[in-house]
Structure formats: structure tokens, C-alpha cells
Amino acid sequence: MDYNNLATVFRTLALEAGALIMEIYEAGEIDVRSKDDSSPVTAADEAADKHISAGLRKAFPDVALVTEEQSDSHTQDVSTFLIVDPLDGTKEFIKRRGEFTVNIALVENGVPTRGVVYAPAKNRMFYTDAAGNSVEEDGPFDTQTVGQTRAMKVTQPDNDSLVVVASKSHRDQATDDYIGKYAVKDMTSAGSSLKFCLVAAGEADIYPRLGRTMEWDTAAGHAVLAGAGGQVVRFDTHEPLTYGKPIFENPFFIAYAPGVDLKHPE
């Protein structure tokens, strides 16, 4: 794999898809439909998916591609593949909260190794460079020229004073009960895969997710967190979260900065 080319293609496609999304976001009323699993989908999801898919297939024709909007057609026996959520946080998009992202990742042998997370309404972009190290690029962004970048590094956590980030749209009592096991200094909430990026940037120590997610929801954020020194493990066993699972569905998981004293579920 040419990781230099991969980083360039990921960044460019994320920016281009973000521009397509923002055109619809800013145009007026958003038409919302329901998919077979009752989750919402919009024209922005579909436009971004079409654009990213075409770009990845052209650039990497020999690598399997998995995307949320085409998930029904994907093979289930891959361990190395490209994986895309063209608009992660559709509910945030519909509510115009701004906390939605474009997610593109490479999974190699079941492990997310490269990824980009772009939040066009927040003007924040996080990605792994060619070496697999995570950076945040300062905007305004240009597809032809890379701006100023800053290395990302997870915090050194203080277990007596942790910062926890949780889902904005999927917070529940089970999550609150688990968070209650920790000594929490501050709580924050965020939509989409931005939660991984807050841990990667040292703005939070731990992100527990006790709810259904799919691999396209998490792979890019997982790669960015790993490239900043963080980890993602299964909630039940604390073993590393792997990819290429049946129907690309995740178990509950915990994303965190090493040094956090992880608590086991009851």
C-alpha cells in the first residue's frame, strides 16, 4: 500500500465530500427518509457516498470497499479493506447541530491503521499521515495544499480526575451507570466520531460506548486515536476491538488514553 498516496486521497475525498454535504446542509429544508433498519438517510449521505466510493475505487481498485450506504452488497469475509461512513452523525446533521463527520479508513488484517475524520461544519479535520501518526490540520482547508498541522497525542490521565466524553444522541442510563464507576472531573458530549478525536487530541480521557455501532461508524476515529497513542477495546473483555466481523457490527467498546484504570462491567 502506498501510504503517501492513501493519505492524500483520503484527505482530498473527505474535503470534497464535506463540500457536497455542506451545500445540502445550508440549502434549506433537509429531506429525511428511513432505511430498512429505521435509521435516517438524506441526500447528503448518498451524494457523499457516491463521490467517495468513486474516488476510492479509482485510486485503489484492488482493495475491497465497504460503505454504509452500500452495506447490503458487501462481502463478509474480508480482513483488509477500505471502509467509509460518508456522513456519520446523520441525526446531528438533520438537527443542524454541526457535529457530523466524513469518515474514511483503511483496515489491515482486522486493524484500522489509517483514517480521516472531517467535521465540515466545525471546521476541524483529523487524520493519520503516511507514517500512521495522527495530526489535526488547521483550516481553512484546500484540496490542493495542506495547511498547518499539529501532532496529536493522548493525555496522561489522572484517574482521580478524568474527563469523559459520551454520545450526544445515544446517551442512556447504562452509560451513565458505567461512567459512575470513575472519578470524573468533567463530562462532555459530542456527536459522531468526534468523540474518538477528542480523546486523540488530549481533550478527553475516555469514551465508553454501550450501544450499537457499525464498523464504518468507528474505523476512522479508531485509526486516528491509535495514531495518537490511544486504544479501543471491547467493553466486555477489554480485548482489542477488531474489524471484519459478521455484518460489520461492533460490540460495546471503550476508547481511552492508556493509563486510564479501566473498570469492568458488572
Residue 36 is assigned to a ligand binding site: no
Residue 80 is assigned to a ligand binding site: no
Residue 136 is assigned to a ligand binding site: no
Pairing of strands 231-234, 253-256: antiparallel
Residue 2 is assigned to a ligand binding site: no
DSSP letters, the chain, are --HHHHHHHHHHHHHHHHHHHHHHHTTSPPPEEE-TTS-EEEHHHHHHHHHHHHHHHHH-TTSEEEEGGGGGG--S--SSEEEEEEEE-HHHHHTT-S--EEEEEEEETTEEEEEEEEETTTTEEEEE-TTS-EEEE-SS--SSS---EEE-------TTSEEEEEESSS--HHHHHHHTTS-EEEEEEE-TTHHHHHHHTTS-SEEEE-S-EEHHHHHHHHHHHHHTT-EEEETTT-PBP-SS-GGGEE--EEEE-TT--PPPP-
Residue 142 is assigned to a ligand binding site: no
Residue 37 is assigned to a ligand binding site: no
Residue 68 is assigned to a ligand binding site: yes
Annotated binding site for substrate: 68, 87-90, 217
Return binding residues: 68, 85, 87-90, 217
- Please give the annotated binding residues for Mg(2+), written as ranges: 68, 85, 87-88, 217
